[in-house]
Amino acid sequence: MAEGIAISVHDTVPVWRGDTPGDALRRTVDLARAVEGFGYRRYWVAEHHGTPALATSSPAVLAGPLLAATRTLTVGSGAVLLPNHSALAVAEQFGVLASLYPGRVDLGLGRATGGSPASTARLGDPRGLGFDAQLQELQGYFSEGQSGVRAVPEPETPPRFWLVGSSVNSAVHAGRASLPYVYAHAIVGGGAPEALHAYRQAFRSTPAQPEPHASVAVIAVAADSDDRAARLAQAFVYGQILMRTVDPEGVLPTEEETAAHRFTPTERQFLRSRIDPQFVGSPDRIAPRLADLVARTRADELFVLTQVPDHEARIRSYEHLAKIASSL
């Protein structure tokens, strides 16, 4: 890829009607191979629990096949939700990955839980340490160990730690912890400039991370026309509507189902609230808006989440977006 902003993938592994979770996971591996050829830097997978529409309950497990299927991509989590886990278990999982694939493993961390209260109650650190203490413990396993406990295997090149969030508070937290930071514009649109400014203001330089590294994660759907991109993007949002109303345990609707649905005014308002802050359209429509976001945030890297039911259209969208990023 030509000079421009670094671009990476954020994936939630959506499961569409008529497909199995296995189908969705295999498409993720296929997509990773494709974007590697387009010049993407990283491929991150999210963590969700109790959500049949998203097959991403275990980033550490999924990262293994993704690393095996690619050669140059850095693969990791976006994010491991640390309150759901013991720090030692996470250190062991990512120690295995980093030992097998040195220099290619990221450990993005989040402070949320990513599931229902019932799911959260069955996960979590049994000691209830809190995020800051867990983070300190987790980092310690990749240096000197913790209170005589070692996380084995101990990789020669530890995974790179990141913090992922969607608020000024999380940005300040990342800066004070001397970690790279990703602002989730895909979750909360509009707050990235303020959050990344606060991150840089709070950043504390260390030998391991001498400079701040500020990124933005967006939802983007690029297609040959604005209308085609809008039709593709609407399917995932219609799925959110169904999960909030009539089908909380279902998977995501097809493009045909979505096209046949007649949105109520309330549903259309919801649709607009999810799509308008993001980046949906032809490359000519998306490029200037992404350029504006990068200029306002001074982002070092762009993470892109494309959730559409047509796999070939999804690959094509990531190809369009790589070309846009090369010009930013």
pLDDT tens digits, 102-112: 999 999 999 98
pLDDT score, position 113: 82
Query: Residues 220, 221, 225, 231: what is their CA dihedral angle, to the nearest 10 degrees?
Result: -130
Phi first, then psi: what are they for 310, rounded to 5°? Answer: -95, 110
- CA atoms of 161 and 172, how far apart (whole Å): 16
pLDDT band at 238 (very low <50, low <70, confident <90, very high): very high
**Is residue 302 over pLDDT 80?**
yes
Closest listed residue to residue 297, CA positions, set 305, 287, 289 = 289
Structure tokens at 161: 């730690």
Phi first, then psi: what are they for 99, rounded to 5°? Answer: -70, -40
Q: Specify the DSSP class assigned to residue 248.
A: T
Mean per-residue pLDDT, 268-287 = 97
pLDDT above 90 as % of the chain: 90
- CA atoms of 203 and 213, how far apart (whole Å): 10
pLDDT band at 273 (very low <50, low <70, confident <90, very high): very high
Predicted structure pTM score: 0.96
Closest listed residue to residue 289, CA positions, set 326, 320, 328, 316 = 328
pLDDT score, position 1: 42
pLDDT in tens, 82-103: 999 999 999 999 999 999 999 9
Closest listed residue to residue 301, CA positions, set 31, 7, 1, 2 = 7
pLDDT in tens, 200-224: 999 999 999 999 999 999 999 999 9
